[in-house]
Amino acid sequence: MASALWHTRQAARKLLDAEQGTIYRDAPHRVALLYPSPYRAAMSSLGYQTIYRQLNGEPGVAADRATLPDDVAGYRARGIPLFTLERAIPVGNYPILAFSVAYELEIAGLIDCLDLAGVPALAAQRTWDHPLVIAGGPLTFSNPSPLAPFCDLLLLGEAEQTLLDLIREAVALGFERRALRALIDRFAGRSGFYVPEHDRGQVPPIAAADDSLLPARSQIITPNTELRSMYLTEAARGCSRGCTYCVMRRSTNGGMRVIEPDRIVELIPAEARRVGLVGAAVTDHPRINEIVRRVLERGCEVGISSLRADKLTDELVGLLSAGGYRTLTVAADGASQRMRRLIERRTDESHLVRSAELAKKHGMHTLKLYLMVGVPGETDRDIDELILFARELVRIHPRIAIGVAPFVAKRNTPLDGSEFAGIRVVDSRLDRLRRGLRGKVTVRPTSARWAWVEYMLAQSGPEAGLAVLDAHRKGGRFGDYKRAFAARGVEPTGPVARVPSTSELIALRRARRQAEPVKRARA
């Protein structure tokens, strides 16, 4: 065990040595900031990085990171506890554990982190001398309910302000464990805070951070991440469009907020060599070309997280090519023109053809399209149309790749409550697509089975979280999940209204209008 621990600490040391921007802070109170996926994913998460910087800027508080180990089984077998990167303190010794959870399948990672920290996974089994377990992150925009059995408190929606509100009160109480337990009761029922023990299934509305707290951006730059050595910054938050399957649509997020180019550029650290512009719909930013040009003028490579095919121009693709882009990635989302219309996706075939032409003209190695199969109303004929269309595209650009994800209905969207198409149906459509494009176009699908698990979690309540725990204890295979959902009687419950009310949205917009220097785009 001692030598295993030594090797684990050495590996952590190596990660830290490769980082720029790590914060080592002395403070009377410490929070462990946990990510329930491995380090590579954690350091690509803008929300996680932003909260790390924010907490470390708070008087009296320091935040240390811990991520899900790559080798959870090895940790378990050798009895190695999960410890924080900056301080090498066992996570179980911290008074507050704060998780950032991106999506449903990370709930298993959250359970692993608690196990390795020696903290009972179920909130009901913890006592006042255990750490307080809180969670936030993208999953809370849609359905936080399956997280409820594991958390003392959930921060719903944008957590920049709500987390600080909580932490400031915790500091005032000296981070005393018994007092912290009493403190969370005071937040029950407040917008943006969900205390499962008190709110009993009544999930409050999500919170929106004040514009003055934007943009979210990297604190740490590291080569050991999915987006190697890239500084990430929001260029816009939310989206002004209304695609019916999307949690980021205008009616859930109150429209799109754009960040002024000056603000984006002035915040880029001098040492950054690669800059990623992040947001739900960055190419909808009215001054996107100017931002890309100014980043290039600083001598940086540039990347964009979300290219909308209908917004690509010769100038923008030319700038991206000059900025090191080699794969042009756009979302098509529906398999056919009919499906794209049904889900209110503004992209049409002419935009995708244009994307292929621009990718070719500007020397991009690959054009990658993202889309969903199994959307309600889809038939095999839509897949056949996709096959014909992809064959046309490949005549324009020789390297086309298609990433396919099975459709999963999310809460707070118009398609909430739609059934999963079925594992067999999804697999047969993926198979049809692969056969139709064999040797011509690369097709990269994600698993239909795990999409079904995601669907069960996206559409169910706390009992689905308990089923994850059961399945995980049995080994975490697909069959374990299937049996656990059946044994717990997990049934997708259909639409649950938790979209902010009109008056909440108006108040939200009014608050945003007052904030400078961030400006708001019209929804």
CB of 250 to ligand SF4, least distance (A): 7
- How much is the CA Rg of the chain, to the nearest whole Å? 23
CB of 235 to ligand SF4, least distance (A): 13
Where does this chain touch ligand SF4 (CB under 6 A) — which range of 128-136, 207-215, 240-248, 291-299?
240-248
Q: What are phi and psi of 200, to 5 degrees?
A: 45, 60
Which residue in 156, 243, 272, 464 binds ligand SF4 (CB under 6 A)? 243
Nearer to ligand SF4 (CB atom), residue 241 or residue 512: 241
CB of 241 to ligand SF4, least distance (A): 4
DSSP H helices, 243-348, are: 250-253, 261-267, 288-297, 314-322, 337-342
DSSP H helices, 410-501, are: 423-437, 448-458, 462-474, 478-487
CB of 53 to ligand SF4, least distance (A): 25
Q: What letters, b where the CB count within 10 A reaches 16 and e where it falls short, cover 98-120?
A: bbbbbbbbbbbbbbbbbbbbebe
Contact 159, 149 (CB under 8 A): no
d(CA 294, CA 301): 11
**Residue 135 sits in the site that holds ligand SF4 (CB under 6 A):** no
Where does this chain touch ligand SF4 (CB under 6 A) — which range of 72-80, 106-114, 187-195, 236-244?
236-244
Nearer to ligand SF4 (CB atom), residue 272 or residue 409: 409
Say how many Å lie between the first and final Cα of the chain, rounded: 57
Nearer to ligand SF4 (CB atom), residue 20 or residue 251: 251
CB of 117 to ligand SF4, least distance (A): 35
Provide the token pair at 398: 């020789």
d(CA 85, CA 91): 10
CB of 411 to ligand SF4, least distance (A): 15
CB of 278 to ligand SF4, least distance (A): 12
d(CA 58, CA 167): 9
Q: What is the crossing angle of helices 462-474 and 478-487, to 10°? A: 130
Q: Which 204-223 positions form the footprint of ligand SF4 (CB under 6 A)?
A: none
CB of 512 to ligand SF4, least distance (A): 18
Chain CA centroid to CA 332, Å: 20
Q: Which 51-70 positions form the footprint of ligand SF4 (CB under 6 A)?
A: none
Nearer to ligand SF4 (CB atom), residue 370 or residue 478: 370
Nearer to ligand SF4 (CB atom), residue 148 or residue 259: 259
Nearer to ligand SF4 (CB atom), residue 373 or residue 464: 373
Nearer to ligand SF4 (CB atom), residue 42 or residue 331: 331
Q: What is the crossing angle of helices 423-437 and 380-396, to 10°? A: 30
Where does this chain touch ligand SF4 (CB under 6 A) — which range of 20-28, 192-200, 239-247, 314-322?
239-247
Number of residues that bind ligand SF4 (CB under 6 A): 8
CB of 242 to ligand SF4, least distance (A): 6
Nearer to ligand SF4 (CB atom), residue 163 or residue 282: 282
CB of 306 to ligand SF4, least distance (A): 7
Which residue in 29, 65, 126, 241 binds ligand SF4 (CB under 6 A)? 241
Which residue in 42, 62, 107, 239 binds ligand SF4 (CB under 6 A)? 239
Nearer to ligand SF4 (CB atom), residue 8 or residue 45: 45
The per-type count for the chain, helices as H runs and strands as E runs, is 20, 16
**Residue 246 sits in the site that holds ligand SF4 (CB under 6 A):** yes
Where does this chain touch ligand SF4 (CB under 6 A) — which range of 82-90, 178-186, 238-246, 359-367?
238-246
Distances from the Cα of 216 to the Cαs of 52, 53, 142, 180, 231, in angstroms?
Answer: 11, 10, 20, 28, 11
DSSP string for residues in 209-258:
--GGGPPPB-S-B-SSSSSTTEEEEESEES-S---TT-TTSHHHHTS-EE
Site string for ligand SF4, 248-287 (x = CB under 6 A): xx------------------------------xx------
d(CA 454, CA 107): 10
Residue showing tokens 């943006």: 192
Nearer to ligand SF4 (CB atom), residue 233 or residue 347: 347
Q: Which 170-199 positions form the footprint of ligand SF4 (CB under 6 A)?
A: none
Contact 236, 285 (CB under 8 A): yes
Contacts of 14 (CB under 8 A, 6+ apart): none
Q: What is the crossing angle of helices 448-458 and 478-487, to 10°? A: 30
d(CA 56, CA 64): 9
CB of 331 to ligand SF4, least distance (A): 7
CB of 6 to ligand SF4, least distance (A): 46
Contacts of 71 (CB under 8 A, 6+ apart): none
Nearer to ligand SF4 (CB atom), residue 67 or residue 142: 142
Nearer to ligand SF4 (CB atom), residue 162 or residue 413: 413
Q: Which residues bind ligand SF4 (CB under 6 A)?
A: 239, 241, 243, 246, 248-249, 280-281
